Structure 1
């Protein structure tokens, strides 16, 4: 029988401990092959045998743990082109292709964001609190009923907890917090501490409720990206324009975007120019001016001009969808610290339970202590044993950090990468398209016996219609000055030399200095000027008009506007910064001197890989930054590969991390984010273990009891979560 894949939204799952219980329970369902639970997405994916009885058994098993399941449409937003197909709220979606990716619910699938008092946990907490208040009032009027009335108040909250504890134990998690809580509360009743038992149950429920609220905020930080894409778009059809669901836009469709509207899909501008606010996708603070032929991202905001855009990606594969998918996958990839904490907690909880058993029995049996006192202390130790705060200390910080990075255009693929980036000691940059813009620009226009304006106008006229990078640089410069270009007659390209034609009756030639020398003699002064420009790593095109050298244009692939600042930020924290390029030594030296870094030039891909390996052999932890294509060997050889791709597929899918807006300064931002995250993790671990260590000693000494124990546990969990959420507010842009 073939396997299939079912995917669910899980309501009430707030932390890694919840996910572990669900995972352990579902794996025990007959017919289940694989389970993947995403805390940050609030989803579960199960690969199982294609039998009708498996999905209901999964729902029953998870429901017994106190969580609600809801079928999730495969592919998320737009995966069916707006048609939900075989998916509905009444049955589990089964996909014949389990390899399809997306752990993200669409807006139609997403759980509604309820106020805390309308959630199941909120209602139970309110009911338990009301029962405790009623019991306290009744006890004042009828003191003799106190033991019974407080026991009943306790049972209001404890019965659901105990039911979940039994379900977790049957599902393979005997040492759950619910089980420890149930044993402690029932034991307190038998010891006569009914009022304290009822209060402890209420405090436990309040702590769970606060965990849920905090987890919801962390989850919303990424899910909110979905709301950036508008629900409707104006698609061009034969009869005009028709408003359609954005999720249904096919690749190749043409959409019209009015000024002020959000772009509904990734696409290419066909017509119009406008400033695009890309802050939601790339973190870029100022609008980017874009025109025909340039890419736009779904969720960005159109500025002052109307645009016609050709859709280049379906809704399920647009930039925001891929960012969310990658971040969610990264958040489930455990960091080394998280894996260590998981292993530690598996031994820690049974260990503390054993200590509690010894505390309850050894002093009365060996030293003649009072059984009631030592059993009470042991029950308090059971509450201290809960590892919730410790278990969530690392994943909460990593999830918040990855979310903050994604919202600022920094994609880091998992906790292991996030940890490693902060330890980098050497950074190797590619040149073209990484430290530089990747396309030449005109840096100087020189008029020898013709005005600079005419030199540019004639050169641009000759280059009209050409797609060569140097030609585009000249045309872009002319366009920036809004020059009216004259018509060209008898235009022809001279292979390997340049281009020629007639403009206003004058015979023109534009090409390299050597080729221009065959049309007109260069003076010594002109030759020296051109040679000096070549020494600066610039390419020079010489304009000849009617047999005389009229002028020249110098072009070079210039450093990105933030390159100097980004490199300086890395050097300031003691990192070794290099540039590895296949370009010639003269051009490489020119760029490196301007940026103040070490340069290695005329390198093949294998040479770049070798240099990265040599740096690692010297003891460096190396980050390699490139475009993700021709630098693939070096990216693979580095400890961390970072792609600068402006949202291109290769930048999002290949390297360990990627910068959506291709800023050099993003590398330093990733390092700052990594180091801030590790500080946060260490703070969380210290809070979690520190509180437990103090309470462990004071409880055994008889100083503290059940109340402080449960406060320490729930309080530490809430503190750790809130501390981790601070990373969501961390500024990642320079």
Structure 2
């Protein structure tokens, strides 16, 4: 039946309309509308979701009942946000369906669509619910990358964090504030991403309460300024006070004075950790500050003032040294940020004005003098120069740039003043994208790091509870004095801090990714760094990857004339053709300084070649078929043509209707860097180097022989390349695919690791691949694989070292061989050693 107008009264709320329609839904038949069309249209304007109470069939209602009951209807369009994400890790369309179903379970989600082909997620959600989306996708086992920026999301630099537990404490504390919608703190990069409604000053104040310093990151302030303080000053004073108290205990100074010196030293060094511990407890977080504070205060309560003061002093010294060491890893990104100048000379009419790069718009003209850094991406419109692009591509040799060539912010103008038309705003430059991608990569947890964090989250509370039991149960069972077992419990509290273990992986990952970025390689996360370290087979696309990707003249074979005469005739014939091979021959001849002859009556012969009258004679340039149709004797020529074609080259025949004047062979040439790069890969442990190409078997065989490739697969379509990748994986190999990031997208996605080359200025390559070689050659690939393997080794070393130190400390507690200060030394000392070991990755060179 048709429902009454009263049901769809547009003056009533949409909620009432929905309730009215739901009440009468049982009366619906399969093709009946619940409201009149006019009223339905008005209601549609008021709703924010696809499901409506109007124009819905009985069957549709059953299918969407859960969604209708779940949806919170709103008339406020401003309460909804649209977001777009890139999803990594989908293997088939069913993965897209899994994500859609998983997100549809969230109450905040109004609409969700996942496109497997583009790997993009489009979602409509309630305001301030973006973090729910990201967390849900991660829980489903996929990696998510935001393409739409959250307008409320702000980034802060955090100073003073000693290890990952500090980051967790900040998160827990801010999560207790109602105006904070979501918070994510990354210890490795020293960044905090916060979605909040209160003021920036309030956030800074809240962070300060728990002992840290927060500064808002703005467009002009993207780097974190190193903290300049007097931490070492207070540590030195505390150390002197402890030494005086210790000496006093062996002299005539009263014990009270020694105790006073110890207590003063504890206050001086322990104020910050105790304050942080207070807020950590309020936030229900059990971090290192809590453990150390309890241990120090407990030592004082049982009269072990020297032990307590030493614990606090060693803890303060260790964390300060950790901060100084970790700063080196963060410098790897800060140095990138400092590459591009903050100001540029802008031409306005006939005058030059210096302006901040943030104020420069697209199409403005900037002037860059010799020796200066280029401030923004652009195109040269006046002048020529050599540009050092090492900061972007890692190439050590400057590249010659002429009018029309692109240049990148952060690169150095070696010689010659140039005028550049700006093509990208400061936040969109290649160097800005590199910095953004590297920071995002460093914030992502690798599988090993995720495992370690989970282990630490279980280990710490278990040992903490064990410490409490040790303090209480043995004395109750009369197995010793309360003071003895209380001391052992305090030792257990200190050993419960897994700082060295937690820090073992992220510092290594940050160091490795920073090193790679400085050398023109983008590794887009710890996951991909770990994967690269285990790769034992690499498949390469041929054209444009192993080879130059453009034809070049490789051989000239004249008959009864000189090379120059043959080339002059070829130039005359081909300079009016638009065919790629013709252009190759024309460019080659012109580079040799050979001029063309006088020609006319040019004519293109479709599928065969060209003809022209040259100095009164008709000449032809084309394939063998062209001359066979003219019934010319070709026996001696065919043998030469076949031998050249067997080498995978294309032959252009030059001649008349009577005889052949010569042959010019053209082919795609192998890159100069290819052979050395592939040999280096084999030396560092890559077992299989494979080439994939759509070219014929002859060409593939020639290139594979020149490049010293293990296996090649020829005459492949894009889908065939995917099959080859799967075949290699089925053979038990861990496969990486190297291509241009666009044409080879299916194969790149199928491989265990996708590597794109030539990413400088190519947004698609930087977005789609797992690793991007910014330079358009393979020189950086062996360094990347070597760096990844080294990173895996150091991560394993750090983890085992951290665990062994912990187990030794635990074993020494019960025999009474471990003291509180030794327990602290084992923890902070191990953390410093782990960091220093990870810093070696910054020094890995090609």
Retained in 2: the 8 A contact 1:621–1:639?
yes
What is aligned with 2:505? 394
**Contiguous gaps of at least 5 residues in structure 1:** 77-105
Q: 2:758, 2:777 within 8 Å by CA — same for their partners in 1?
A: no
Q: Which residue of 1 aligns with 2:733?
A: 620
**CA shift in 2, pair 1:135/1:401, >3 Å:** same
**Preserved CA contact (<8 Å) 1:516 1:543:** no
Alignment counterpart, residue 640 of structure 1, candidates 722, 744, 753: 753
**Cα offset for 1:344?**
0.4
Residue 225 of structure 2 aligns to a residue whose secondary structure is coil
Is structure 2 residue 629 aligned with structure 1 residue 515?
no
TM normalised by structure 1 equals: 0.87
Q: For structure 1, which segment, 516-525 or 351-360, has the greater mean C-alpha deviation from structure 2 after superposition? A: 516-525
Corresponding residue of 1:168: 280
**Partners of 2:503 and 2:599 in 1: CA distance:** 70
Determine if contact 1:19/1:39 at 8 Å carries over to the other structure. yes
Map 1:11-160; keep pairs closer than 5 Å: 11-48=159-196, 51=197, 53=198, 55-73=200-218, 76=219, 106=220, 108-114=221-227, 118-119=228-229, 121-122=231-232, 124-126=234-236, 128-129=238-239, 131-132=241-242, 142-144=253-255, 145-160=257-272
2:515 is the counterpart of 1:404: yes
SS at match of 2:644: helix
Correspondence for 2:777 among 660, 663, 677: 663
Contact 1:222 1:324 in 2 (8 A): yes
1:578 corresponds, among 668, 687, 690, to 690
The alpha-carbon distance between structure 1 residues 129 and 465, as it changes in their structure 2 partners (threshold 3 A), is farther
CA distance, structure 2, for counterparts of residue 192 and residue 456 of structure 1: 98
Taking CA–CA contacts closer than 8 Å with sequence separation of 6 or more, which of the two structures ends up with the larger relative contact order? 1
The answer to whether residue 682 in structure 2 is matched with residue 534 in structure 1 is no
- Tell me if the contact between 1:196 and 1:707 (Cα under 8 Å) persists in the aligned partners: yes
Q: 1:249 to 1:499 in 2, by over 3 A?
A: farther
1:333-368 deviation per Cα after TM superposition (whole angstroms, max 9, x unaligned): 111111110010011111222232233334433353
Question: Which residue, 723, 728, 733 being the options, matches 1:610?
Answer: 723
Residue 343 of structure 2 corresponds to residue 229 of structure 1:
no
> Which is worse superposed, 548-557 or 179-188?
548-557
Match of 2:813 in 1: 699
**How has the CA–CA distance of structure 1 residues 478 and 128 changed in structure 2, closer, same or farther, with 3 Å as cutoff?**
farther
Deviations 1:635-661 (A, max 9, x none): 111111111234222221101111112
Answer yes or no: is the 8 Å Cα contact 1:436–1:558 preserved in 2: yes
Q: What are the equivalent positions in structure 2 for 1:477-492 lying under 5 Å apart?
A: 477-478=588-589, 480-483=591-594
Compute the displacement of 1:464 (Å). 4.8
Provide closer, same or farther for how the CA distance between residues 306 and 514 of structure 1 changes in structure 2, counting only shifts above 3 A. Answer: farther
Structure 2 Cα separation of the partners of residues 321 and 466 of structure 1: 42
- Summarize the Cα distance change of 1:43–1:532 in structure 2 as closer, same or farther, 3 Å threshold: same
Matched residues in 2 for 1:216 and 1:629: separation? 37
How far did 1:219 drift? 0.4
Q: Choose the corresponding residue for 1:687, options 801, 805, 809.
A: 801
How far is the alpha carbon of 1:332 from its aligned partner?
Answer: 1.4
- 2:491 counterpart residue number: 380
Higher mean alpha-carbon deviation, 7-16 vs 545-554, is at: 545-554
Contact 2:244/2:258 (<8 A) preserved: no
Distance 1:694 1:143, change over 3 A: same
1:254-291, CA deviations, whole angstroms, 9 ceiling, x for partnerless residues?
44433333232333444554433222222223233444
Deviation digits for residues 10-30 of structure 1, max 9, x if unmatched?
222353222222222222321
TM norm structure 2: 0.76
CA deviation vs aligned residue, 1:535-564 (integer Å, no higher than 9, x gap)? 211112233479754333211111222222
Structure 2: how far apart are the matches of 1:178 and 1:394? Answer: 21
**554, 569, 573: which is aligned to 1:443?**
554
Alpha carbons of structure 1 residues 134 and 409: separation in structure 2 relative to 1, 3 Å: same
- Say whether the 8 Å CA contact 1:30–1:54 is kept in structure 2: no
CA distance in 2, matches of 1:457, 1:234: 47
Residue equivalent to 2:146: none
CA–CA distance in 2 between the matches of 1:563 and 1:109?
A: 37
- 2:494 corresponds to 1:349: no
SS at match of 2:458: helix
1:223-622 aligned within 5 A: 223-239=334-350, 241-270=352-381, 272-460=383-571, 463-464=574-575, 468-478=579-589, 480-483=591-594, 493-501=604-612, 509-515=620-626, 521=632, 523-544=634-655, 549-572=660-683, 573=685, 575-595=687-707, 596-622=709-735
Q: Distance in 2 between matches of 1:580 and 1:65?
A: 56
Does the 8 Å contact 1:412/1:657 carry over to 2? yes
* 2:109 equivalent in structure 1: none
Alignment deviations for residues 135-187 of structure 1 (CA, whole Å, 9 cap, x no partner): 568776732421123212211222322111011121231x2111111111111
> CA 1:188 to 1:568, structure 2 compared with 1: closer, same or farther past 3 Å?
same
Report the secondary structure of 1:380's partner residue. Answer: helix
Q: Which residue in the other structure is 2:838 paired with?
A: 724
What is the rounded CA distance, in whole Å, between the counterparts of 2:577 and 2:340 in structure 1? 36
Q: Which has the larger radius of gyration?
A: 2
Give the drift of 1:508: 5.1
Distance 1:244 1:476 in 2: 42
**1:607-657: CA deviations, max 9, x gaps?**
111222232233322212211112111211111111123422222110111
How far apart in 2 are the matches of 1:458 and 1:249?
Answer: 51
CA distance, structure 2, for counterparts of residue 305 and residue 448 of structure 1? 46
* Change in CA separation of 1:530 and 1:327 when aligned onto 2, cut-off 3 Å: same
* Partner residue in 1 for 2:290: 179
| Deviation per residue, 1:560-602 (Å, 9 max, x gap) | 2222233334445252222222222222222123223322222
**Map of 1:98 onto structure 2:** none
Bigger mean CA offset, 175-184 vs 581-590: 581-590
**CA distance 1:157–1:503, change in 2 (3 Å):** farther
User: How far is 1:293 from its partner?
Assistant: 4.3
Q: 1:228 to 1:565 in 2, by over 3 A?
A: same
Distance 1:28 1:456, change over 3 A: farther
In structure 2, how many angstroms separate the alpha carbons of the residues matched to 1:521 and 1:728?
67
Instruction: State the secondary structure of the residue aligned to 1:299.
Output: coil
CA distance in 1, matches of 2:500, 2:625: 72
Instruction: Please give the secondary structure, in 1, of the residue aligned with 2:540.
Output: strand
Is the 1:270–1:310 contact (alpha carbons within 8 Å) kept by the matching residues of 2?
yes
Contact 1:567–1:665, Cα closer than 8 Å, also in 2: no
State the secondary structure of the residue aligned to 2:215.
Answer: strand
Q: Residues of 2 paired with 1:586 and 1:454: CA distance?
A: 31
* CA 184–525 in structure 1, closer or farther in 2 if over 3 Å, else same: same
Corresponding residue of 1:631:
744
Q: Structure 1 residues 518 and 233 mapped into 2: Cα distance closer, same or farther (>3 Å)?
A: farther
Is the 1:275–1:304 contact (alpha carbons within 8 Å) kept by the matching residues of 2? yes
Q: Identify the range of structure 1 (604-613 vs 518-527) with the bigger mean alpha-carbon deviation.
A: 518-527
CA contact (8 A) 1:269 1:309 kept: yes
Report if aligned partners of 1:31, 1:54 keep a CA contact under 8 Å in 2: no
Q: CA deviation at 1:9?
A: 1.9
Partner SS, residue 284 of structure 1: coil
The number of residues matched between the two structures is 693
Q: Which moved more, 1:549-558 or 1:53-62?
A: 53-62
CA distance in structure 2 between the aligned counterparts of 1:627 and 1:417, rounded to whole angstroms: 18
Classify 1:718/1:505 alpha carbon distance in 2 versus 1 (closer, same or farther; 3 Å): farther
In structure 2, C-alpha distance between the alignment counterparts of 1:472 and 1:292, rounded to whole Å? 21
